[in-house]
Amino acid sequence: MLVVFPVVFLVLVHFPPSTFVNLGLQASDSPPDHTPTFPECLSLFGHSHWAALPQSTKHLHSNSQCPSGLVLISGWVLSAGKSKEAEIKRINKELANIRSKFKGDKALDGYSKKKYVCKLLFIFLLGHDIDFGHMEAVNLLSSNKYTEKQIGYLFISVLVNSNSELIRLINNAIKNDLASRNPTFMCLALHCIANVGSREMAEAFAGEIPRILVAGDTMDSVKQSAALCLLRLYKTSPDLVLMGEWTSRVVHLLNDQHMGVVTAAISLITCLSQKNPDEFKTCVSLAVSRLSRIVSSASTDLQDYTYYFVPAPWLSCKLLRLLQCYPPPEDGAVKGRLVECLETILNKAQEPPKSKKVQHSNAKNAILFEAISLIIHYDSEPNLLVRACNQLGQFLQHRETNLRYLALESMCTLASSEFSHEAVKTHIETVINALKTERDVSVRQRAADLLYAMCDRSNAKQIVAEMLSYLETADYSIREEMVLKVAILAEKYAVDYSWYVDTILNLIRIAGDYVSEEVWYRVIQIVINRDDVQGYAAKTVFEALQAPACHENMVKVGGYILGEFGNLIAGDPRSSPLVQFNLLHSKFHLCSVPTRALLLSAYIKFINLFPETKATIQEVLRCDSQIRNSDVELQQRAVEYLKLSSIASTDVLATVLEEMPPFPERESSILAKLKKKKGPGAVSVSDLDEGKRDGGGELNGAGERGPESSVVSTPSPSADLLGLRSAPPVGSAAQGAGSLLVDVFSEAGPLAPASGVNDDGFLRFVCKNNGVLFENQLLQIGIKSEYRQNLGRMYLFYGNKTSVQFVNFTSTVSVALISFITKPVDPLVEGGAQLQQVLNIECLSDFSDAPLLNIRFRYGGALQNLTLKLPLTINKFFQPTEMGSQDFFQRWKQLSLPQQEAQKIFKANHSMDKEVLKAKLLGLGMALLENVDPNPENFVCAGVVQTKAQQVGCLLRLEPNIQAQMYRLTLRSSKDTVSKRLCDLLAEQF
């Protein structure tokens, strides 16, 4: 005991008091989301800080509960919590110690090995990187001591390393344990496979595990692990898991006596059914009868599988989920039994609760919601649908926030069924009330979604009005989506277009900042296409513009509409041409460059519409602030419009400045935008979902998609409009069209994962723009590219090196934070011929991952599939910035936050010749600044990354050390991701 005390002391001193508080299960009467503050806990749970201590330390010193040695280090670690540096220092010391033990001459015994591996794990779990110890962990796997093996497996599960050498060793150890016939060892091995789930493991074990799963002599616990292990492997590598002959035996696990086995197996069966519904369709009747037995059982029948008086809630939910993979059963008896189950579940919801505990109601309602999902999925039983709707209606006013949230969510799907749409609509007042009074923004969001879903012609005006009034106080996080929804509803259900115009102008007035380009483009498209609303629109924008402060988007719409249709209201002396012009021009100086450019175009249109304004407008155009404007675009417009108005005859002017022709009708680009917003928000999200990705891979399957679906050729509606806006010389259409195109791409399904992404060529293009990106025996891909500000144009040349035709040739680019417009490539590439593709590029925001270029074609009958990293890196959008030494250092100091800096020290891989380095740095796109660094051997550069979203200033310093053949590279920028990315890219260049 003497030994123990100092440790206890350490622990005591260094942990925040809350770590001693028990998690509150004993105090089961306290409501679930009652989250007490610390002093409150003391009285609630009857544990004082000190009283809890023996409990929390009780395991630390029993001989095996805690890996020895851990206490000391963790005491230290947590004590250092006050200062991050001290913690890191302490950890590094510990890591150095462990490293030396592992490297030491003396071979470590299993116990010490386990101890140190466990310490490493602990350090990792505190959030530090661990880059060694894998070998020692693998050694532990083959120990015959259970605890050593267990820690070894845990380390591998938490810290897998794709090092192929190790994977082989790990697989070997797993193989031995699977063959050991010791159920505990077998389970450990299966857990490890399920936790790691790598392709190598699938290759090694996908054949063996189904056999273990269905073998008659396998223990129940092993079966359970085997089923879920197989599920995980199937999710990673569906091609390797072949059920084949085992299918029917796996399905029959649904009949297993052991509820645990059924619970585990059903997850596997559900996943397999989704992919191969036909092979597994016998599971439907088995699932129905299992469900029926559970639903009709008394709460005590299932013993430990009853949870707070609810029989087998997890299994019930999974059964109902499995049934959602199939249409309603065709067999009348099975269907009757199922409908009976669903009715029983709905009935039970009305019974008084068997317990007041929230666990009881949660478990019961979990089943209820799953049953409602099934009813909605079938969408064929009007009676059940309406009952479901009524049930959800009750939940809409429940005191549990969770239930209100789920009811709103679930009703959204009910609203789309023809049987229940009307029933859902009866709850409109409750939902509107929720939108106004719910305190949790996520619940309000659900209410807004539901209003959107239940909207139709009969209630559109009410719903739109409510949403508009909600917008005035809505949370910033959901405003943009609300704006899109209002815009869509207004358009979709507009009976008279003056209401539509009013609504959109209101939107701009209330939430102008959140009105995206798509929204105001759309209102203009509609006004141009419908002549019955043009006069009203002109009058309304004219009135809106009279507000002393109006949003820039309003100026844009106003400028455009008055430029086109100002004549329709010019008869009224209060809105005479000159009044209109003066009104617009009064906003001019407050606007950004693109809006000014639009206004200049409106002015020239005025000259055509109202000859009497010509002199005034010419005077405006002629003044220095226009004709000598520092912005090239504005200057050019002013000069050209002035010239045009002076030399062109009235006829020519009238032809050139004719009213815009109607836009071709097509799906609203706003809808596309909303879909995009609902979809994965960031590039990385798609990585989260391996399963979906696999599906995408199949969708993209060989030659099934014509070139039309993979490449976008339709001109965007907004492109026409953009003619009026600042039109940069390259890729003028790219700006507004971006999001529409992105959506088209995403609907085409996610691209097949980088099945061996080829990035050899990629790094060679960081500092240059032209060259050969890829070459093999069949194909050569050359690239020429040019960039200006945040825009770029890339020419891809596909050369067929063979004498045979390539057919079904397609090339697609994955879209990240960059938008593309591509022209479709010809599906045939003749032997020896070269095909050219142009990509117009716009950088929307800074990005790290290069877009992927996927090329597919058939050569001879064989499908060729090639994925390359497109050499498009953030530095392409650099604009060089010249500055003096003083300026540079001042800015350097301003960017001194740790996250703003990225630094690497690395060995030289190429010539360190000064001229070579200079050439590379110039190719990078930044300005190379002379006489700035006091040391003439060093290089410093400055530049601004231009993206649509923002501009990111960057400073670079490269310090060569010729003797050591090393470099130190430092990047500072206002955005951490940019510094990091540039540093990573450049470290490969020198």
Partner 1 sequence: MQFMLLFSRQGKLRLQKWYVPLSDKEKKKITRELVQTVLARKPKMCSFLEWRDLKIVYKRYASLYFCCAIEDQDNELITLEIIHRYVELLDKYFGSVCELDIIFNFEKAYFILDEFLLGGEAQETSKKNVLKAIEQADLLQENQSEDWGGLAAEEVL
Instruction: Compare residues 231 and 385 and give the one whose CB is closer to partner 1.
Output: 231
Task: At 566, list the tokens.
Answer: 């100002």
Instruction: Compare residues 684 and 834 and give the one whose CB is closer to partner 1.
Output: 684
Instruction: Compare residues 415 and 468 and give the one whose CB is closer to partner 1.
Output: 415
Q: How far is the CB of 238 from partner 1 (least distance, A)?
A: 14
Nearest Cα residue to 786 out of 745, 742, 861, 730: 730
CB-based contact 953:973 (threshold 8 Å): yes
Task: At 261, list the tokens.
Answer: 């086995």
Q: How many CA atoms lie less than 13 Å away from 903 in the CB half-sphere?
A: 11
Three-state secondary structure call for residue 723: coil
Find the helix packing angle between 283-295 and 259-275, rounded to 10°: 140
CB-based contact 594:631 (threshold 8 Å): no
Neighbours of 257 (CB within 10 A): 7
Q: How far is the CB of 310 from partner 1 (least distance, A)?
A: 9
Q: How far is the CB of 643 from partner 1 (least distance, A)?
A: 52
Alpha-carbon distance of 408 to 405, in angstroms, equals 5
Instruction: Compare residues 110 and 824 and give the one whose CB is closer to partner 1.
Output: 110
Residues 6 or more apart whose CB falls under 8 angstroms from that of 571 comprise none
Task: At 919, list the tokens.
Answer: 């050439």
Q: How far is the CB of 4 from partner 1 (least distance, A)?
A: 7
Q: How far is the CB of 680 from partner 1 (least distance, A)?
A: 5
Three-state secondary structure call for residue 780: strand
Q: Output the furthest CA–CA distance in the chain (Å, rounded).
A: 106
Q: How far is the CB of 260 from partner 1 (least distance, A)?
A: 4
Task: At 330, list the tokens.
Answer: 């065709």
Instruction: Compare residues 692 and 823 and give the one whose CB is closer to partner 1.
Output: 692
Instruction: Compare residues 362 and 947 and give the one whose CB is closer to partner 1.
Output: 362
DSSP H or E stretch at residue 855: strand 852-859
Alpha-carbon distance of 615 to 46, in angstroms, equals 87
Strands 939-946 and 878-880: antiparallel
Instruction: Compare residues 88 and 682 and give the one whose CB is closer to partner 1.
Output: 682
Instruction: Compare residues 573 and 756 and give the one whose CB is closer to partner 1.
Output: 756
DSSP H helical segments within 711-774, as ranges?
Answer: 717-722, 734-747
Instruction: Compare residues 313 and 717 and give the one whose CB is closer to partner 1.
Output: 313
Q: How far is the CB of 353 from partner 1 (least distance, A)?
A: 14
Q: How far is the CB of 264 from partner 1 (least distance, A)?
A: 5
CB-based contact 428:454 (threshold 8 Å): yes
Sign of the dihedral defined by the CA atoms of residues 720, 721, 722, 725, in that order: positive
Q: How many CA atoms lie less than 13 Å away from 712 in the CB half-sphere?
A: 26
Three-state secondary structure call for residue 440: coil
Annotated binding residues, as ranges? Answer: 101, 111, 115-119
Instruction: Compare residues 182 and 576 and give the one whose CB is closer to partner 1.
Output: 182
Q: How far is the CB of 837 from partner 1 (least distance, A)?
A: 31
The residue ranges of DSSP E strands in 615-700, in sequence order, are: none
What is the amino acid identity at position 70? Answer: L
CB-based contact 939:958 (threshold 8 Å): yes
CA 383 to chain centre: 39
Three-state secondary structure call for residue 843: strand
Three-state secondary structure call for residue 716: coil
Alpha-carbon distance of 144 to 142, in angstroms, equals 6
Three-state secondary structure call for residue 905: strand
Nearest Cα residue to 785 out of 978, 943, 925: 925
Q: How far is the CB of 695 from partner 1 (least distance, A)?
A: 13
Q: How far is the CB of 759 from partner 1 (least distance, A)?
A: 16
DSSP H or E stretch at residue 783: strand 779-788
Q: How far is the CB of 184 from partner 1 (least distance, A)?
A: 6
Alpha-carbon distance of 239 to 755, in angstroms, equals 14
